[in-house]
Amino acid sequence: MTSEERVIQTLKREPVDRVPTFEWLIDKKVREAIYPGATEEEFVYKMDLDALCVDLNYASVEIEPQIYQDEWGMVKKNTGQAHTFPIRGPIKTLQDLEKYTPPDPHAPGRYRTLERMLAEHADKKAVILHLNDVFSIPSRLMVFDDFLVSTVEEPTLIEGLVALSVEVNLQLAQEAVKRGVKVVYTGDDYAYNSGPMVSPRQFKKLFYPGLYKVMQGYKALGLYVIKHTDGNIRSLLEMIIDSGIDCLDPIDPVAGMDLAEMKQKYGQRIALKGNVDCAQTLTFKGVAETIAETKNCLRVAAPGGGYILSSSNSIHSAVKPENYIAMLDTLKQYGTYPIQV
């Protein structure tokens, strides 16, 4: 099977030759330690990963040293890591929202990187586009604390922000499908380790209608959808799954999410992706512990298909390169179907 076929068949929970693997992000420091000088794309091929993940092209300008403002009006700080830190957004009130214009989904160059990736890698690797659903964009268009307060004090503002996010992302998805995209993932986090950022009641009222609309819109376009959210999402699980996703990532072990339990309860409804612990095991422990945890993930989640092995979030800069190699070597040894761990 090609990598693209393997990923899509897994998302459909249909038989594949082996368990696929890929990461949303592999930090340059880790890549350089394993294959010095390799680009992100070269690294994916050298490590026999199954997907390349791509973002759309948005312009940004430096407004202060290491502080940038993007086309959404979001202000972010360069942390030196792959992800920037959001500071503030352009919206404080409902009046601000009424005057706000989001980035143009049809702007020239918006899909430049995506088009190149598809031209070079489609039919060999799964090219997975990062879009959003209902939380990241609304929460970053405001100061985050103000956003949380507004879920209680100004729900109409939150509903408007969610509607905007849904509309823009569906337009982006329409353009992406025209270019050949088959799989998208949404990276909106809903929870802390202790539980969701807003109560399940508020989530159902303010966010679930938009979540259902955007996921059903993606599905109507023929897309397969992987939903990412860290944290303890137990109280939101039924809403997330009922929205129409194909796969849930990463089943966060630090937040007490259990991969075996998820497989048992939900493995007939969705595929699962995860969850070798990148906060502890891959970062602080050794090769032996990494091998044991990888084997356990395969043992509890791979039988019957519908499983993608990965870290519990990403291969960030503190991950030990030897542990990441051990995780992938263990997959090569034990990840071929029928699974025998």
pLDDT at residue 163 tops 90: yes
Joined tokens for residue 279: 């906060």
pLDDT at residue 80 tops 90: no
CATH number of 3-60+89-334: 3.20.20.210
pLDDT at residue 4 tops 90: yes
Helix, strand or coil for residue 275? strand
Query: What does DSSP assign to residue 103?
Result: P
pLDDT at residue 292 tops 90: yes
Report the C-alpha gap between 68 and 302 in whole angstroms.
Answer: 42
- Phi and psi torsions of 308, nearest 5°: -120, 120
Question: 336 - beta bridge partners?
Answer: 18
Please give the average per-residue pLDDT across 232-256, as a whole number: 98
Q: What totals of helices (H) and strands (E) does the chain contain, helices first?
A: 15, 11
Residues 6 or more apart from 132 whose CB is under 8 A from it?
165, 169, 186, 187, 188
Percent of the chain with pLDDT over 70: 100
What is the per-residue pLDDT for 179?
Answer: 98
Q: What is the pLDDT of residues 14-51, one digit of tens each?
A: 999 999 999 999 999 999 999 999 999 999 999 999 99
What is the per-residue pLDDT for 261?
Answer: 98
